[in-house]
Amino acid sequence: MKALPPDEIEKKSFKIITDELKDKGPVVINGNTRIDDTAENAPVMNVIKRCIHTTADFDYARTMCFSDGAVKRFWQLIEDGAAIVTDTNMALSGINKRKPAQRGCDIRCFMADEDVAREAAGRGITRASVSMERAMALDGPVIFVIGNAPTALITLKEHYDRGDYKPSFVIGVPVGFVNVAAAKEMIMATDMPYIVNSGQKGGSNVAAAIVNALLKGMPDSDGKGRLSDTDGEKEPDNAPGPSGNDKTRRGFTTGSCAAAAAKAAAVMLFERETIDSVSIMTPSGMEYQTDLTDVMLTKDDSDKIIASAAVRKPECDDPDITAGMLIYARAEFADARKDSKEGSHQPDGSYVNQTGNVCIQAGPGIGRITKPGLDRPVGDYAINTVPRRMIEHEVHSVMEENECTRDIVITIYAPEGEKIAARTFNPKLGIEGGISIIGTSGIVEPMSTKAVLDTIRVQLRQKRALGEDIVVITPGNYGMNFLKERYGYDIDQAVKCSNYIGETMDMAVSAGFKAAILAGHIGKLIKVSGGIMNTHSREADCRMELMAASVAEAGADTDIIRQILGCVSTDEAYEIILKEHLEDGFSKHLMDRIVIHLTKRTGSMKIGSIVYSNRFGLIGATADAESMLKELT
């Protein structure tokens, strides 16, 4: 056994935790909300992983509770210099103090103070209660970090009920048996911002771990932000290239490009001069500096000045069909459009979104939404909410510098958008006529897995928005003729999950589907019979072993099992099964195992499955699957 340095131990530990969480099924917060381990959920997942790392207890993946916006609220309080008060010196000593100290946060524990002990004894109450009262007397906001004493939470609730104090934030994870669970429930029944572990588990070490996870995920004071905890993610640099020790290149989203182009056009509109570069701050905390192209200052027939500029979308190591395309913005002072209403259709057919003094609209190459379930309403152009806010923020900043009180119209367009969008998922998602202006962090992480999973999530959400209760999930188009000919089902209506069967099932449950049918080729679905929920060959390839197991259950002798194990393809193995007349028993065991593992993964959602081969046709189908499929056709 080789000794490892501390950072390597921590990295390996988080890798184990991440892998275990995948095997154990979806993480649940707030009692019933399933969340996926995605970049969007990283701040919450990092808290949960840090609790598991501290305790080696995976129950925290089911019992953690977060008030709405809890993580961002905590970050803002730290930025504002809030005090942190703990109920034990152990929690105090366990908190990483670098970031709080940089922002002037005072971290204190009153429990060991002699006057606290005297007052508690004289009043016949606990030191924890007196400590909380001392904390309430501090000037400014206070973050309460409670890992030991339920009476600390009870005291906070009593003062809250009397209306004389409302905590700015509560981390409530006391441990024990007396009043612990009830005290936590009391906090969660209020409108206090909180992070709580329901039930009896917790402790000072857990309280400190939660604070440290939140601090670790918080943007640094120099503007650079950590996207994830110590599970392999690196802090991004200030440019779309290799980051630190990370050899992959990051890029910037179409939303960042649109916001940068809009800012550039606004600057030129006021300065009446062209510029050749611009910089913006993305929501991730990264600065985006970019050169401009095709910059123009023109006048229309009425002598009105119009400024426009384009940003070329940077390439990165994520497969991205929009890399290299030009995203344009045009800026002009509003005239008749000044009175446009929020979300109104204009006489020229455009759909305008106006907030304050900035009116955002779309031109050629930007798709229009035709189906529900997306970020924007049907009829709107596909400029998502976060990019809209980025555009508004950047243009408003220019307007404020120039003390502008007039309205400005920003038009985003992409001349190549319609052509490029035809090669994306946009038409299937109900986005017609162009690309989407998207992004939540402003940067593109080189993770094609996330892009695939995000697309799957959107497809599932759309189907639910259209009122569908049953979803067909398939790894791809392989065998589409079989489903069409046998069941009359168009596989283009299915949700393509690629190799991510487990994650897709989790998302189907979260979306609220009552039933799911998993249909696919035996080469993929044989793996699901062994509980393998990612069917990529690099994750696992035990097709022959699983076929051998099922054929053994069907009564095959040792010689047949050895022949199966020696095959190189599922079709070759199935040919032996047919020759030995073992297909009925094989099929029953195969389908039973698939349903067992999927049901274990999804819980109460009804599961059906159809397995086929291009060469041999139907291998097996559950009765539920065939009846449910008929409902859809």
In terms of Cβ atoms closer than 10 Å to its own Cβ (0-12, 13-18, 19+), residue 69 is: exposed
Radius of gyration of the chain from Cα atoms?
29
HSE, side-chain direction, 13 A CA sphere, residue 496: 14
DSSP 75-100: HHHHHTT-EEEESSHHHHHHS--HHH
Closest CA to 209 of 8, 506, 10: 10
Cα–Cα distance for residue pair 281/225, rounded to 1 Å: 12
Is residue 53 part of the annotated active site? The answer reads: yes
Closest CA to 212 of 43, 95, 85, 108: 95
| 305: enclosing H helix or E strand | strand 305-312
The token duo for 196 is 């709580």
Q: Helix (H, G, I), strand (E, B), or coil: what is residue 411?
A: strand
Catalytic residue among 53, 396, 589, 597: 53
Cα–Cα distance for residue pair 192/444, rounded to 1 Å: 34
Q: Which long-range contacts (CB under 8 A, 24 or more apart) does 227-230 make?
A: 227/39, 227/42, 227/284, 227/441, 227/445, 228/39, 228/42, 228/46, 229/14, 229/42, 229/45, 229/46, 229/49, 229/50, 230/7, 230/10, 230/11, 230/14
213, 297, 303, 558 from 337: Cα distances, Å: 47, 21, 17, 80
Query: Which residues are catalytic, by number?
Result: 53
